[in-house]
Homo-oligomer: A and B are copies of this chain.
């Protein structure tokens, strides 16, 4: 029987992250486990600086370049996806098997996910896409979210 703990599953999820890292062929350092955890638990759409800010709470000595290096490494190993919601930053989210896309509010910046098989629609309806080997579909709708529309 494992020891009793009143803490949430922080240690557990970090040890899962360690396993994920090893399984992916990366070293299971504290920093990378923390960074991976933040992205997996973080609800997606975090930019590098936000990851850095959250990571420092758990691991105060972590450096920004470690965050960048980890994110790039995770991206290359298909653990996370890099998105481009605005022109200034990259945003990162956990790789998901379900095709989903994003609505970006131009006023408040909020990002809303939705699922839709747009790539299927495109493959069926776009002749130019026939000869292309499509590996990624990024759909980004911009506009104004219900809240911002109401406020104005």
Interface size on A, residues (CB 8 A): 37
Taking the closest CB of chain B, its distance from the CB of A132, in whole angstroms, is 5
Judge if A66 is at the interface, Cβ distance under 8 Å: no
Interfacial residues, chain A to chain B (CB-CB below 8 A): 82, 84, 87, 90, 103, 105-106, 112-114, 116, 118-119, 121-122, 125-129, 131-146, 149
Q: Are B137 and A141 in contact (CB under 8 A)?
A: yes
A112-B132, A114-B129 given; name 18 further pairs at CB < 8 Å: A87-B90, A103-B129, A105-B132, A113-B128, A114-B126, A116-B125, A118-B122, A121-B121, A132-B143, A133-B144, A134-B142, A135-B142, A135-B144, A136-B141, A136-B142, A137-B141, A137-B142, A140-B140
